[in-house]
Structure 1
Amino acid sequence: MLRRRALAFARRRRRWILWAGAAAGCFLLYRHPAVVARRRRLARLASALASLADAAAAVASDLAAFLRSDSDAVPQTLRQVAKLAASPEAAASASALSGALAAGVLRGYHATAPGSGAAPGSGSALSDRVLDRVLSPDGERLAAAVACSFGRHLVLAFYSAPSQPSTAGDSVESWVDALTTPRCQRAIRSWVEVFTATAVGVFIDKTIHINTYDQLFAAATNPAYSARLQELFVALCSASVETLVKTSHGVLSSASSTARNSNASANSRGDGGVGKAWVETVSSALAAPSNRKLVLDLTGRTTFEAVRSFLEFVLWKLHAGARAGGDAMIAAGLHALRHMSYRSMVIATICIALCLHILNGTWLLVPA
């Protein structure tokens, strides 16, 4: 009996010791710095969530009351929310959140796209699909509608804005002043550089395998355009020669009139001195060693073309005359043959008639 009681007491004491050790361990764990920090963070998170819930409830109640009432005064809570949304910190947070969300969506799409074959982050398949959708008839109509709506609303907002009383000259001056600012000049310079570089790069990429001079010479040597090219060259040469003659005559006339008005003695010599000086200037310029080869080349080419053109004209005239003479001779021969055939037919007819009369016994023509 005593032994049972001793064993029961020992068991109860062991339990109390275990409970006391567990309580001491829990107390020490509760008072541990890391647990305390975690507990404080959880308390702050709970208080923040509670405050956010209270703020959302307050904003929701004020918004519901504002929508139900007929008053135009915006509640203070909504104004504070608008200020908070317009703050730079909120805009930066929203931008970072939206960027991270878009990046995550794209990575998930590329990771789960069946048979895409594109690496995550490249965006080639998605961009191609989006571009195909935009360039489709429905996408073009949607893009045109969006662009038209944007332009219309932009113009309406520009003209509906309260304008200050100013004249047209002031507005033009303000635009000119705005365009001549350093920032605007840098922006225009950058736009022009980017546009020019892009246009030249695209043109070179598209036409790097094309030889423009070969195409020009091929088109110029095309027999179908020979007549038109000759007319064009003749018109250009005639216009250039006419312009040269008129300009030279005008310059010489003005120089001669100036010389006559400035010096009476030079008037006796007339235009010969001016013309002589001009001819001497041109001759000295053409006699230079650097221009001698050009003069000889031009002279040879001019002489060759002149002789060739003269011979072609003479041959053309001879050919035309020979053709006309041959046609005339053939026509005369045919006419002579026709006339001789007519004469022979008449003579044969007379002979046949005489023979018939003789055979019929008509001896009137026979002498007695």
Structure 2
Amino acid sequence: MSGATGTVSAYEHRPKAGAGAKDGAGAGTRISVLLSHGSALGELVEAELDAPRDDEVVVRVEAVGVCHTDLLAQKRLGSRSAVLGHEGCGTVERLGPRAEGLAVGDRVVLSFASCGECDPCRSGFPGYCAHSAALNGSGRRRDGSPTLRVGGEPVFGSFFGQSSFATSVLAGARSCVPVGDLSPAVAAPLGCGFLTGAGAVLNVLRPRPRDRLLVVGAGGVGAAAALTALSEGVEVVVAEPVEARRALLASHGASAVASLDEPIPPVTHALDTTGRPEAIARALSLLRPRGALAVVGLGPAEIPLDVRSLTMRGLRLFGCVEGDAEPALLIPELVRRHRDGLLPLDRLVTTYALGDIERAVADQRAGLTLKAVLLPGT
């Protein structure tokens, strides 16, 4: 993972001795959650959060990003009651008896869950964890036990190991990355969206200074990717239909076009965040020989692919989950770049009260907001 001043792998995650309340099974915690069901994105209700076990922690949520993946999951779950949200940031309040590397009072970003024991996890690619489906998408712990109850009945929770559309969450200590006094609204999207965009640039595509990167789609993922590439000295072209998003990235040094149909010079690297087959095909056509395209958007499962062109031009096509990142390494590096003024992620965020999720999603869909972040304390 190339950084501006070295490699990200040089930024070690150094555990500190756990401090504060260590729990056994203990009592659960009464919290408020956004309960989605049917067409409703979220209704504020009371819930009971299970007590932390083993290496779990309870985190009081200070901010949580709204990601397209939350909306896809809500649609997939249909009428099933669920608590979603997977870009949480907050303060550690309780620690399980074997939770290491954290202390009560730490502000942490909550990222996706991984086991830490399988080959991908041990190789530094936890996004491809062998137990990812059970840990992130089953709605329960890996052992099948629930973490959330509403009216005494279990509901779908532990989404991406957290379900952070809530005032507090239960998460594995492994998913928590300390971020010091960084603003929670800026820090929260580092758990997924900003991590994915930045990681796609630093870990997968790895453009060098004076290379040219095309970013297709400038939502939270694409905008974070563009700003990260600019911090590396890379020339960036953004294709984005929303004028305000184009203007924002242009103000930081990117070139911007409204459509891939506009004239775009050949590029050395490309990132597609849309998943649209026509966008992927166009991005491939714009690559120079031996160029590279990474895809992070989930669209149709199958798309036409000109294998002859791919072969004869030496092109490289990469899939990318969570930016191929080890959150404990990449998140601190992105925080450092932000503090140094190289990565103005605060310019991408608009905040809303937790109960205003419907308006936040509507604004995001309308292009009025680039990255919506909910604040449970408001």
TM tier relative to shorter chain: under 0.3
Which structure has the highest helix share of the two? Answer: 1
Which structure has the highest strand share of the two? Answer: 2
Query: What TM-score do you get using the length of structure 2 for normalisation?
Result: 0.16
Query: What TM-score do you get using the length of structure 1 for normalisation?
Result: 0.17
